[in-house]
Structure 1
Amino acid sequence: MLPRTIKELEEIKNECTKIVNKRASISAVAAVVPLPAVDVGADMALMMNLLNKINRKFGLSPEQIGKLDASVKAQIMVIITSAGSQLAGKLITKKTVSMLLKKIGKRVAVKQVTKYVPIAGQAISASISFAAMKYLGNAHIDECYEICRRMIEEKDRAV
């Protein structure tokens, strides 16, 4: 369900921020494992789960939007499109996450190389993994927040 008030929207944003921090921490732990591609696989699974969960929390999963009244659905799709969101209202797949990870490709490449340097390399790899997951998760929260804020404001103007 879409948030109805700014207060409710703020609560959802805070919940999602906590979820992002937990997932980023898990990603950092996975990055320490010195096996090739283990952390990338973990990041893919974590990111798919995280982005879908954020969409659901904000009421912006494809299933939730599909259940809305036709006029509300049209309104939200216009806002999503005008916001340029590639993730809100969409099912997040491996392909979607792969595209996101390519955007931060240099960080991923550095992480893969540094994890083989004893201790310091693993710390750097964990830091990069944490920062990348946090950046992507928080960026999605900000997009969803903005979409819902605009919906609330448009609803308030109509009343």
Structure 2
Amino acid sequence: MRNTLPSAQTLAGADPALQAAVQRSRRLLHRRALMAAVASSVPVPGLDWAVDAALLSRLLPQINAEFGLLPEQIARLDPHQREQVQKAVAMVGSALIGKLVTQDLVLKLAQTVGIRMGSKQLAKYVPLAGQALSAALGYATLRYLGEQHLCDCVQVAKTAQLTLPAPGR
């Protein structure tokens, strides 16, 4: 079954600033997903969950920053623009934009893909093939969560007509 949701790249449209922010965010996401894959292949109970939560709790604010959606960035906006961002966040329904991202919040997000995470836990105990499957699931899980967040950020930035911060903030 194909994913019917548009990608962040598609959502960004022809806006060069949004396209560039998506590319930078995807590079970050890919690196973190590779780290998650490595942690997932280690047969230590719970290690992958802890690593995933730690990786996401650092990654999601970095993606927010690319789009000007950190709490402190939003606070610096003029009141009208801030209201537009808040409306856009509510419309998208994200609990991770414009808020302090904690590991507890990330673990709640991870529950949305709980079946994959449970399969990952079981798979890692099958020698070699199970560890490879667990690593692939670890990569896919983190990549999925990151892509969803990336799409939310693009939608909010586009809807609120934000001027994105310069790369490197």
Q: TM-score, normalised by structure 2?
A: 0.84
* Counterpart position of 1:22: 31
Q: Percent identity of the aligned residues? A: 38
5 Å-filtered alignment, 1:56-95, equals 56-95=65-104
The number of equivalent residue pairs is: 149
* Counterpart position of 1:108: 117
Q: Distance in 1 between matches of 2:92 and 2:141?
A: 22
Following TM superposition, the consecutive aligned residue runs of length 4 or more in structure 1 with deviations greater than 4 angstroms are none
Q: Identify which of 74, 94, 97 aligns with 2:106.
A: 97
Q: Distance in 2 between matches of 1:38 and 1:103?
A: 19
Gaps of 5+ in 2: 1-13, 163-169
Counterpart secondary structure, 2:97 = coil
Counterpart secondary structure, 1:104 = helix
Q: Identify which of 129, 139, 145 aligns with 2:148.
A: 139
Cα displacement string for residues 12-69 of structure 1 (whole angstroms, at most 9, x for unaligned residues): 0111011111111110011111111111111110011111111111100111101111
CA contact (8 A) 1:48 1:93 kept: yes
**Partner amino acid, structure 2, of 1:89:** G
* Counterpart position of 1:156: none
Q: Distance in 2 between matches of 1:96 and 1:54?
A: 16
* 1:152 CA drift (Å): 2.4
Q: Distance in 2 between matches of 1:62 and 1:125?
A: 35
Q: Distance in 1 between matches of 2:138 and 2:75?
A: 34
Structure of larger gyration radius: 1
**Partner amino acid, structure 1, of 2:36:** S
* 1:92 CA drift (Å): 0.8
Point out the structure with the larger helix share: 1
Range 126-135 or range 62-71, more displaced: 62-71
* 1:101 CA drift (Å): 1.1
